[in-house]
Structure 1
Amino acid sequence: MHIETIAIHAGNHVDQSTGAVIQPIVMSTTFERGPDGEYPAGYMYGRAGNPNRSQLENVLAKLELGEEAAAFSSGNAAGMAVFQSLKPGTHIIAPNDMYHGLRNQLKTLFAGILWFDFIDLSNLELVEQCIKPHTGLLWIETPSNPLLKLSNITALVKIAHAHDVKVVVDNTFASPICQLPLTLGADLVMHSSTKYFGGHSDITGGVLITPKKDDWWVRIRQVQEMGGAVPSPLDCYMLTRSIKTLPYRMRGHVVNAQLLAEYLEKHTMVEAVMYPGLESHPQHQLAKIQMLSFGGMLSFLVKGGADEARKVVNTVKIFTQATSLGGVESLIEHRASVEGPDTKTPQNLIRVSVGLEHIDDLIEDLSVALAEI
C-alpha cells in the first residue's frame, strides 16, 4: 500500500462488538483472565499492553517499513530505552550536535555506566578511528538539531556493521515521509512522536522501530514493559488519529520550508540558511540521494549576535516563540538559550519549525521582524 493508505488504515480496525468505524479508546488498566488463568484477548495489564497502543505501534512500524514498533511516553524515554538496553561499559559514538536532551542523558544519567564520544559524523575517517573494541552503538541524527547537518546513513552503516556496531537513527526531523533509515541499513529508528506524528503540539510521545525482532529488540521491549514509560490509551488514540493526515501535512511543511528558506537566503540581514533543500547547503547532493523530501525544519543566522536574534523572535506575530517542532503552527526560537551554557550552537542562530499557515503571511511576518534589527 502507499503511505497515505497505510497512515489511515494501519492504526485502526472496525470494532466488532459495535460496528464503530473508528476503534474506541480502551481506558481499562487491567483485563479479565480466562478460566485457565490465561488472557484470551491478549492483554493483561495496562503497562504491558493496550489495544490502542497496539494499533499505534502497528501503524508506526508500517510507516517506517519496520517489523515492529514500541511506543513510549516521550522521545527522551524512547532514547533512554535504547541506552538502558546496552550492557554497562558499552561505548557509544554520537554526533557532536546531538539533540541536547539525549546528550544530557548520556552525560548525566549514564556517566560511568556507558562511555561515549561526540564527534562530527560527516567525517567518516574520524568515525572509523573512534571505534573501540567495546563500541556497541552508533547514534545518528539526520538532519541534525539545530544545524541541519546530514549524516550519510548508508556509509555510516557500512562502517559500523563492519565492526559489529548497531546503528540507531533519530528520524524525528525528517519523519518517514521524508526519509526511511531502515531501508538504508539502520538497525533501529527513533522518533519523538510529539513532533510530526502528533502534529498539533498537544501530545507527548516517543517510538522505536525495528526491522526485525532480534535479541536486542527483546531487551528493548523488556525496558518498555518493566520500566513502564508508556503512553496512555488516550495519547495513543490521539496519535493514531493525527497520523492519518501525516503524509498530507508533511507535504505542506516541506513546500513552505523550501519557499521560506529561499526567501531568507536572499535577505540582506541573514548570514546563512541551513536547509537541505537549498543548493547552497553543503550536503544538498546527499540530501537528494538519501531523503525523499527535505523536511519542514530550517535554521538561519542573522547578522549580529544573540541580541539581534532575540529581537527577531520577540518581534514576530504569526510565529510563536516556543520550543518543539512539527505542529501545524509555525514556531521560532533563539536556540542557544534553550540548550544551556555548554551549547555549541551559534548565538545568532534562529531555529524555525515551518507550519502550515499561508507562506505569504510567514514571509511578511519575518520580513517585518528582520527590518527591526
Structure 2
Amino acid sequence: MTQGFATRAIHLGYDPKDNEGALTPPLHLASTFAFETAEAGGEIFAGAREGYFYSRISNPTLDLLEQRIASLEGAEAGLALASGMGAITATLWTLLSPGDELIVDKTLYGCTFAFMNHGLAKFGIKVTHVDLSDPGNLTKAISSKTRIVYFETPANPNMRLVDIETVARVAHASGATVIVDNTYATPYITRPIDHGADIVLHSATKYLGGHGDLVAGLVVGTAEQISEIRLVGMKDMTGAVMAPFNALLVQRGLKTLALRMERHSATAIQVANWLESHPDVGVVSYPGLPSFGQHDVAQKQMSLPGGMIAFEMKGGIEAGRALMNGLTMIQRAVSLGDAETLIQHPASMTHSTYSPEERSAHGISDGLVRLSIGLEDPEDILDDLDQALSLRRVAKAV
C-alpha cells in the first residue's frame, strides 16, 4: 500500500538501521568518492555500476532529496540543483536546440521571462507568449516546431491559472513536452504530472525549504529525462549543483510541508476575504475566493487555494507603497513561502526585468501588490494590514 504524502516526505528512502540508528539522514559533504578498485571506478564512470564518484553529478544527501521530491510529485526521478533558475536553465538548455519553438504562458516570473526572452532567444530559439488561460489559444499557436509548452500555475505574480490537463492534451497532440513550474502550489496542492504534465520544476527556496534560509531548485520527470538533464544541462552546461547542506535543509522542510501548506492556506483565505471587503482595496486575486475568475480551474486541480494573494490598491502604485511602508510586522521582502508574511511590489522588484510595455501586455499592472502569507497568528497579520491602511486614510485626510 502506498504511504501518504506526509509519511513519504518524512520517511521515504531512509532507514536509521543503515546509519547506526541516526534518526536524521547523515550529511555527505564529500566532493569526491573513493573506489574499491580501478575496475569499479571505470564501471561507475561508464554507468555500468551504480555508485558515486563526484558531487557535481550525484551525492547521497542529494539522492535522498531527489527520491522524495519525485515520489511527492508522482514522477519517476528527480534532480536537485543550485536554484530555481538553475532548474529552469538546465532543463531548457538540455531539451531545446536552435530552430525550436518554446511556447510560454502570458505571465512568468521575472527572471524566467528574462532568461527566455533575453537569453534563449539570442541562440536561435523562438519564444512565443500565449495566453494559456484559454487553451484554444494554444491550439491556434502550436506548430510542428514547438518542442516545449511551459507555464506556471498559479502564475507569479498575478495568480492566473492554467488548466494543466487541457493544455497538456493539446501540446501532446503536436508532440510537445509540457513543463510546469509548481513553486506556488507545491505537490501538496497540485501534482501536474497527475494532470498530464511531463516535467515539473520548483524553486525549492520557497515553500519546499520553507524557512527562508536556503536557495535551491528541483526538477522531476521520467528517469530518461532527468538523466539527460543531469548529465547535459546540469553537469556540462550550467554546473548548477545543489550543495549537500542545502539538500539537508530542503529535506527538513519537506517534513513539515503538509502542515505548513494547510496553515498558509487557512490563513490566506481569511486575509483574502478581509482584503476583498476593505473599501481601499480593489481587485483581489486568490483561488479560494468565489469571485476569482478561474475558480472552476482551481477546484479542478488544486486541493487547497495556497498561501499567495495578489491585489490592487485603489489609488494605484502610490497607494500600494503607502500600505507597504505602513506595515510593522509584515516584512517588505521578495521571495515567498517563508514562515514570515512578506509583501512586495512586482513592477519595481521581482518583475522589473519586464519593460513597462511588457508588463502591461503580460498582465502585471503597476499597482499590483503580492502578499505571501506566513505562519503567524492570522489575527496579527490582519491587525498589521488594518493599521497600515488606517494610517494611509489618516494621511489622506490630512
> Under TM normalisation by the shorter chain, which class is it?
over 0.9
One of 48, 56, 62 as aligned partner of 2:65: 56
One of 94, 100, 123 as aligned partner of 1:90: 100
Determine helix, strand or coil for the equivalent of 2:63.
helix
Letter in 2 for 1:21: L
Letter in 1 for 2:84: G
> After TM superposition, where is structure 1 displaced by more than 6 Å over at least 4 residues in a row?
none
String of CA shifts for 1:209-233, please: whole Å, max 9, x gaps: 11x223x433212222223211111
Unaligned 5+ segments in structure 1 are none
One of 65, 69, 79 as aligned partner of 1:70: 79
Letter in 2 for 1:103: F
Q: Distance in 2 between matches of 1:158 and 1:83?
A: 21
Letter in 1 for 2:27: I
User: Where does residue 118 of structure 2 map in the other structure?
Assistant: 108
Q: TM-score, normalized by length of structure 1?
A: 0.96
User: Where does residue 7 of structure 2 map in the other structure?
Assistant: 5
String of CA shifts for 1:35-88, please: whole Å, max 9, x gaps: 243248711011111110001101111111111001110000100012101122
String of CA shifts for 1:239-286, please: whole Å, max 9, x gaps: 111110110011000001111001101000011100000000011111
String of CA shifts for 1:147-199, please: whole Å, max 9, x gaps: 10110111100100000011001100000111010000100001100000000
Letter in 2 for 1:190: L
Letter in 1 for 2:298: A
Aligned residues of 1:11 and 1:240 also touching (Cα < 8 A): no
Using a 3 Å threshold, how does the CA distance of structure 1 residues 80 and 237 change in structure 2: closer, same or farther? same
Q: Distance in 1 between matches of 2:156 and 2:281?
A: 19
How many aligned positions are there?
Answer: 371
Say whether residues 1:372 and 2:383 are aligned partners. no
Letter in 2 for 1:293: L
Q: Distance in 1 between matches of 2:206 and 2:112?
A: 16
Aligned residues of 2:220 and 2:226 also touching (Cα < 8 A): no
Q: Which has the higher helix share?
A: 2
Residues 1-373 of structure 1: pairs in structure 2 closer than 5 A:
1-10=3-12, 12-14=14-16, 16-39=18-41, 42-85=51-94, 86-113=96-123, 114-210=125-221, 212-214=222-224, 216-222=225-231, 223-226=233-236, 227-338=238-349, 339-340=351-352, 341-342=355-356, 343-344=359-360, 345-373=364-392
Q: Distance in 2 between matches of 1:37 and 1:363?
A: 64
String of CA shifts for 1:114-150, please: whole Å, max 9, x gaps: 1111121112222111112211000021011111011
Aligned residues of 1:336 and 1:349 also touching (Cα < 8 A): yes
Determine helix, strand or coil for the equivalent of 1:110.
helix
Aligned residues of 1:331 and 1:355 also touching (Cα < 8 A): yes
Aligned residues of 1:13 and 1:22 also touching (Cα < 8 A): no
Q: Distance in 2 between matches of 1:253 and 1:125?
A: 33
String of CA shifts for 1:296-340, please: whole Å, max 9, x gaps: 101111101211101111111111000000011100011211122
Determine helix, strand or coil for the equivalent of 2:338.
coil
- TM-superposed deviation, 1:15: 5.9
Q: Distance in 1 between matches of 2:318 and 2:278?
A: 18
Using a 3 Å threshold, how does the CA distance of structure 1 residues 308 and 18 change in structure 2: closer, same or farther? same
- TM-superposed deviation, 1:287: 0.6
Unaligned 5+ segments in structure 2 are 42-48, 393-398
Determine helix, strand or coil for the equivalent of 1:38.
helix
Q: Which moved more, 1:16-25 or 1:358-367?
A: 16-25
- TM-superposed deviation, 1:18: 2.7
Letter in 1 for 2:373: V
Q: Distance in 1 between matches of 2:273 and 2:37?
A: 66
Q: Which moved more, 1:289-298 or 1:34-43?
A: 34-43
- TM-superposed deviation, 1:19: 2.4
Letter in 2 for 1:170: D
Letter in 2 for 1:350: V
Q: TM-score, normalized by length of structure 2?
A: 0.90
RMSD, aligned CA: 1.4
Q: Distance in 2 between matches of 1:299 and 1:229?
A: 31
Q: Distance in 2 between matches of 1:29 and 1:37?
A: 21
Aligned residues of 2:157 and 2:370 also touching (Cα < 8 A): yes
Letter in 2 for 1:359: P
Using a 3 Å threshold, how does the CA distance of structure 1 residues 187 and 268 change in structure 2: closer, same or farther? same
Q: Distance in 2 between matches of 1:105 and 1:167?
A: 18
Aligned residues of 2:330 and 2:340 also touching (Cα < 8 A): yes
Of all paired residues, the percent bearing the same amino acid is 35
Determine helix, strand or coil for the equivalent of 1:37.
helix
Determine helix, strand or coil for the equivalent of 2:39.
coil
